[in-house]
Amino acid sequence: MFIAEKVGKEWTMDQAPQYAIDHVANSKKNIFEFDFLNSLSAKISNFFGISSESLFYIDLGISKHVFLLFFVSFIVVSTIVTLIQGYISHKKNIPNKFMSIIEMFVIYLRDDVLKNFIGVKEYRSWAPLVYTIFFFVLFGNVLGLIPIFDLTGLIGKIGYNAEMLGKDNILYLLSKGGHTVTANVNVTFAIATITFVAFIAAGIQKYGFVQHWKNLAPSGLPWPLYFVVVPIEFMGLFIRPLALTLRLAGNMMGGHIALIIFITFIFSATAELGGLAGFGIAPFSISLALGLTMLELLVAVIQAYVFALLTAVFIGMAIHVDH
């Protein structure tokens, strides 16, 4: 109640959407400034003739999401890879606690996704890609949900660009954690691009370059139909990674925005109706947010599964053109 009143004084209702957007958006400034990265991005942008004020300015600097991306990659490598390597090298047949969790995911994906959609014969060559995508997206999603993850805020506070934090509002600092890298469209688009390349490569590997593009449209149609079918199939080719991109980013972003909005109900009520109203609405607001967090935990796993599933489905579609 004390914090709510304190914040409520400088809080207005129309602040809430901006606040929620700030929570999911990337930082405007870079966390770490490296001179060689700055000069490199300036060089590349000059090469394409983009000014530094432009939206399309190619900035290679380490912003909040880039840093978190490194962090997620580091965690994936340090947990999954070391666990599996340790398991293989020890030749013990009994997996430990964490290993059995990973094994559960891996076996489920193998039996229900890879063998079903890619095929019993071909699945081995594409399994590493699907597993990597699954675990990367899973860790990115789940890491965004941990509210104590104030690492970026902490690092900003200790030394690098402390003014990046801006307001030293206590609520602002409290909710500074929990950034989801997979809520950034650029990140999901990069992963979707890998999928896009993978399913084209899968088709080319199986049928050869020319035959793969011929497979785009089914053969044996009456010829006028090709004028309709080929453009549709060609558009579908690009819509697939686009849908992947927007689905993951939209899901993660939407969940986090809803979560923040639920919490800001307290402050809006305090600001508009007084401290007692804020105190009254707090239990409902917090329990809603708690329930939504549980739902988000479920969504995090489901979306990672979905991304891996769709990757497998697209690769399978390129390999088995007959259906």
Partner 1 sequence: MGAGLAVIGAGIGIGLIGYGVAQAIARQPEAAGEIRSQTFLLAILVEGAAILLGLLSLVL
Place of tokens 């060689």: 36
The type of residue at 121 is: K
Rounded CA gap, 294 and 296, in Å? 5
Of the candidates 281, 275, 279, the residue with the CA atom closest to the CA atom of residue 6: 275
Q: Contact, 309 vs 248, CB < 8 A?
A: no
254 binds partner 1 (CB under 8 A): yes
> Of 34-42, 73-81, 248-256, 275-283, which segment contacts partner 1 by CB under 8 A?
248-256
305 binds partner 1 (CB under 8 A): yes
Count of residues interacting with partner 1 (CB under 8 A): 15
Name the residue nearer to partner 1 (CB basis): 251 or 268.
251
**Interface pick for partner 1 out of 113, 127, 133, 318 (rule CB under 8 A):** 113
Distances from the Cα of 171 to the Cαs of 10, 209, 267, in angstroms? 12, 56, 10
> Of 123-131, 143-151, 189-197, 241-249, which segment contacts partner 1 by CB under 8 A?
241-249
250 binds partner 1 (CB under 8 A): yes
112 binds partner 1 (CB under 8 A): yes
306 binds partner 1 (CB under 8 A): yes
247 binds partner 1 (CB under 8 A): yes
Interaction residues for partner 1, span 265-284 (CB under 8 A)? none
Of the candidates 315, 308, 310, the residue with the CA atom closest to the CA atom of residue 119: 315
**Interface pick for partner 1 out of 141, 182, 188, 251 (rule CB under 8 A):** 251
> Of 41-49, 113-121, 131-139, 279-287, which segment contacts partner 1 by CB under 8 A?
113-121
116 binds partner 1 (CB under 8 A): yes
**Interface pick for partner 1 out of 310, 315, 318, 319 (rule CB under 8 A):** 310
Q: How far is the CB of 308 from partner 1 (least distance, A)?
A: 11
> Of 31-39, 53-61, 199-207, 306-314, which segment contacts partner 1 by CB under 8 A?
306-314
Site for partner 1, rule CB under 8 A: 112-113, 116-117, 243, 246-247, 250-251, 254, 305-306, 309-310, 313
